[in-house]
Amino acid sequence: MRAVLCDMDGTLVDSEKLWDVAMDALYDRLGGVLTPEVRATTVGGCAENTMRIVYGDLGLDPDPAAMADSARWLHDYTGELFDAGLPWCDGARELLDALAAAAVPTALVTNTPRLLAERALNSIGRHYFSVVVCGDEVAFGKPAPDPYLRAAELLDLDPRWCLAVEDSPTGAAAAEAAGCAVLVAPNAVPVPAGPRRRQVGSLVGLGLADLHEIYVELAAPSPRERACLHADTP
């Protein structure tokens, strides 16, 4: 394990509750009521996918300009909530402190747009992160692998040398597709299991040694992969 790549919302900071408030406000503005089922489908998603879900749910014309305006409104509203301060997820700050003390390269990898992420970093602290990759800085946001591939590229590392820390199905899928081992601490919604994923109840008590152990377990080739490697060996 040469680097740790961390999601933000729901993983480091318990901001999904603030997104709940903002999403409710957006639905009120658009003349609808957000259901828990629809909200669950937007957790961890990028702005474009979220707006497609919202407009589809409300039966609104999916006009790109209107959806972009709604996304801007949502982000401005959420930014005001962020400015009031972001609560840490249990164990997250202590884990970042441990990574910083050990000089482990750490990236923030989020679907949140840069302007809003910068406001969040005022609470979290920029000093923890070697690089920051935001959803509006890649061609496709999570669940596409682009954000994690970009973070590894900026760190000059192969994604297979990185451990991602995520809380949502969207984020876990993105990190796994990029080739990362994935530590999952579910927050707002359950996350399916996977061969490259280890689930924990929270980040409380996890130290650097624990992350290394999890990474080694997940990064080890599967029996099928070992058989392929053996077959390819002269």
Look at residue 223 in the predicted model and tell me its pLDDT.
53
pLDDT category at 17 given cuts 50, 70, 90 is confident
Distance CA 39, CA 42 (A): 5
* Model confidence at 228: pLDDT above 50: no
**Cα atoms in the 13 Å half-sphere on the side-chain side of 126:** 7
pLDDT digits (tens, 9 = 90+) for 97-126: 999 999 999 999 999 999 889 989 988 999
Give percent of the chain above pLDDT 70. Answer: 94
What is the dotted CATH code of the domain comprising 15-84? 1.10.150
Q: State whether the Cα torsion 140-147-126-130 is positive or negative.
A: negative
Distances (CA, A) of 58 to 34, 35, 61, 138, 232: 9, 11, 9, 28, 53
pLDDT category at 233 given cuts 50, 70, 90 is very low
CATH 3.40.50.1000 fits 3-14+87-230, yes or no: yes
Amino acid at 176: E
DSSP 221: P
Per DSSP, the three-state class of 167 is: coil
How is the chain split among helix, strand and coil, in percent rounded to 5?
A: 55, 10, 35
Amino acid at 95: L
Check: pTM over 0.85? Answer yes or no. no
Neighbours of 124 (CB within 10 A): 22
Residues noted as catalytic: 7
The 3 state secondary structure assigned to 97-123 is: HHHHHCCCCEEEECCCCHHHHHHHHHH
* Model confidence at 10: pLDDT above 60: yes
Average of pLDDT values for 127-145? Answer: 96
pLDDT digits (tens, 9 = 90+) for 166-195: 999 999 999 999 999 999 999 878 899 998
Per DSSP, the three-state class of 197 is: strand
pLDDT digits (tens, 9 = 90+) for 66-84: 999 999 999 889 888 888 8
* Model confidence at 31: pLDDT above 90: yes
Look at residue 189 in the predicted model and tell me its pLDDT.
85
- Residue bearing tokens 């359950």: 190
Look at residue 121 in the predicted model and tell me its pLDDT.
93
Domain limits, the chain = 3-14+87-230, 15-84
Look at residue 15 in the predicted model and tell me its pLDDT.
82
Sheet containing 131-133: order of strands: 131-133, 106-109, 3-6, 162-166, 181-184, 197-199
Tokens of residue 145, six digits? 């692998």
Residues in the chain: 234
Where does residue 61 rank: exposed (0-12), middle (13-18), buried (19+ CB within 10 A)?
A: exposed
pLDDT digits (tens, 9 = 90+) for 211-224: 999 999 998 755 55
Look at residue 226 in the predicted model and tell me its pLDDT.
45
